[in-house]
Amino acid sequence: MSVINERIQFYIGRIKAGRLGEMWKQLLWVYVYARRYWLAMIIYTGISMLGTVTGILSSFVSRDMVDIITGHQAGAVLRTFAMLIGYSVFNLLLGQVTGYISNIISMRVSTEISSDIFEKILNTDWESLTAYHTGDLLSRWGSDTSVISTAILSTIPSFAINLFRFIMALGVMLTNDWTFVIFAFMSMPVSLIMSKTLLKRMVNNNKRTAAMSAKISGFNQEAFSNIQTIKSFDLIKLYVSRLRQNQKDLISMNLEFQRMSIWTSLLMSIVGLMVSYSAYGWGIYRVWSGAITYGSMTMFLSLSSQLTSSLKSITSIIPSTISLTTSAGRLMDIVEMPREDYSNDDAVAVFRDKYVDKGISLELNNVKYAYATGTLVFEGAHIEAHPHEIVALVGPSGEGKTTMLRLILSLMQTQDGTAEVVGGDGNDRYAERILLTPSTRKLFSYVPQGNTMLSGTIAENMRNVKEDATDEEIIDALKSACAWEFVEKLPDGINSMIKERGGGFSEGQAQRLSIARSLLRKSPILLLDEATSALDVATERKVLKNIMKDEYPRTCIVTTHRPTVLSACTRVYAIRDRKCVVLNQEEIDEMSQVF
């Protein structure tokens, strides 16, 4: 017995280590969503099973009707006919109810999974998330979510419904004439063999197709986002050619699998016809020999067909399950990546309220950071900034200025050293300190490189960071960012529309709007990443002076290539040899002259 148990455990282990174990894990992940709608699914399954029962009863009534007509039995034709109509109408109503419930479950599951996955993607560790193309993320969030929401209803209840239908039909046939059961089971071995053959190919095809669909989605997303560049370099023919090649590859994949499916379907259909005609011939013989009536034959043929179709439906769950688990696996790849830690939110909120009037300092000491590739960016780096200061971070392109801001925002995690926010101006050694984490982002406003305005009105963009901002507060922020001078000339003022990617405004105007949005948020610490690069020197200095003159105790850190900004800064750090070195006035003057 122990030997048998060992062999069983061995094979269970092999299954878990292989594709079946992986599929089981993915199904359990989907179950987390499905179980939330267990009551609706039970009602849906129950109503469908009731339809199966009425269908079986209808077959009995149909048998009696045929027997009455053929003279084998006497009975009330009108009553039997009325019952037949009644069952048909009842089944019709049940079909409408189950369809309605099906739509409710599908829509609710789809929206819940969609919003949940959306939230999880946004909460995923930023550095891990950058490994995926935006188009791939959109494909997983959109199409894979849809596959799961549809499959939840078509897989779980469908299995129970078809199994119940199979058992009911089998019970009636065994009770009345078991010989017809043989014909119903004749196609089962072929179905099992075909399913086993298709399983591996379906898994591989689904993965390849999903990957290619994601590639096309990403290609399209990038192309539409960069139409201006494509036109400017006269790349229209090249991009159309690339899209057609991608589409050709996708079609080739699908056709390859489709050809195999056609042959499999053809073989199954031939087997099905052989079984049907065999059952029909056997029924004729049984009627001729007087073993059953003609009505009973038609009922058995109908039930035999129902038995076969139920078996096929149960078997067809295999491809649905494969599609379901493939999509679940693609989503699990994303949502099971490291999540950002927001467990310190409450402490940071208390910290902010405590020091909002005094200001908050930023200190990074002996910081080390290297990319996943092993490239060392910082080692022993130090930087500090205090309220009412503008601190500049300069250095050649690619030396780590933007990386430093991402470390400050905890989009990337330091591998050594300390990175903290400190209450007050940094002179009080008893001031509270909090390590930088995703929770501390609520202390920052960030203006990244490029155009970051969203489609909508100027006011809507501003209120994204402060929902209750008044028009006066918005206008004040626009004035501080030197943006009011062009916004007030617009026909609709702050209610003027901004197109996608900031369309309708120059790069310099979009930058000033972005700065105004960050100032409106009234965060203790402001990060400007080349945020004034599109402004002329005079406007740039004016914006920085407005920030300095603001009575709000804001700490400001600026990355820049333009030494003309440095004269307005309290302190200037240069990135050298993976460290942040404070420049003296002579070095700053020299940089300005070289520029």
Q: 3-class secondary structure for 272-327?
A: HHHHHHHHHHHHHHHHHCCCCCHHHHHHHHHHHHHHHHHHHHHHHHHHHHHHHHHH
527 located within any domain: yes
Which of 305, 335, 365 represents a domain boundary (last residue)?
A: 335
Calpha distance 351→423 (Å, rounded)? 8
Whether the full predicted model's pTM is greater than 0.75, yes or no, is no
Dihedral angle at the C-alpha atoms of 275, 277, 280, 286, nearest 10 degrees?
-80
Query: Domain residues for 219?
Result: 7-335
Q: 279 and 349: one domain?
A: no
Q: 350 and 268: one domain?
A: no
**Three-state DSSP class for residue 35:** helix
237 located within any domain: yes
pLDDT value of position 350: 93
Query: Which token pair is 111?
Result: 């929206």
- For the segment 334-344, what is each residue's pLDDT rounded down to a tens digit? 888 888 888 89
206 located within any domain: yes
- 126 to 129, 130, 344: CA distances (angstroms): 5, 6, 18
Q: 368 and 312: one domain?
A: no
531 located within any domain: yes
Number of C-alpha atoms within 13 angstroms, CB side, residue 305?
12
**Three-state DSSP class for residue 417:** strand
179 located within any domain: yes
Q: 579 and 431: one domain?
A: yes
Q: 149 and 298: one domain?
A: yes
How many domains are contained in the chain?
Answer: 2
- For the segment 284-320, what is each residue's pLDDT rounded down to a tens digit? 777 777 777 766 777 776 777 777 777 667 766 766 7
Q: 85 and 12: one domain?
A: yes
pLDDT value of position 196: 55
Give me the CATH number covering residue 386: 3.40.50.300
Alpha carbon 250 to its chain's center: 22
Q: 301 and 365: one domain?
A: no
Calpha distance 458→469 (Å, rounded)? 12
- Please enumerate in sequence order all residues whose Cβ is within 8 A of that of 210, keeping only pairs 6 or more positions apart, or say none: 139, 143, 144, 326, 327, 330
Q: 325 and 384: one domain?
A: no
The angle, 0 to 180 degrees and rounded to 10, between the axes of the packed helices 537-549 and 507-520 is: 0
pLDDT value of position 15: 45
Assess contact for 167 and 52: CB atoms under 8 A.
no
Q: 280 and 363: one domain?
A: no
Q: 157 and 233: one domain?
A: yes
Q: 254 and 160: one domain?
A: yes
Low-confidence ranges of the chain (pLDDT < 50): 1, 3-4, 7-8, 10-12, 14-17
340 located within any domain: no
DSSP per-residue letters across 443-511: GEEEE-SS--PPSEEHHHHHHTT-TT--HHHHHHHHHHTT-HHHHTTSTTGGG-EE-GGGTTS-HHHHH
441 located within any domain: yes
Which of 310, 335, 360 represents a domain boundary (last residue)?
A: 335
1 located within any domain: no
* Residue type, position 318, single letter: I
pLDDT value of position 346: 93
Q: 20 and 102: one domain?
A: yes
Which of 335, 359, 374 represents a domain boundary (last residue)?
A: 335
Give me the CATH number covering residue 72: 1.20.1560.10
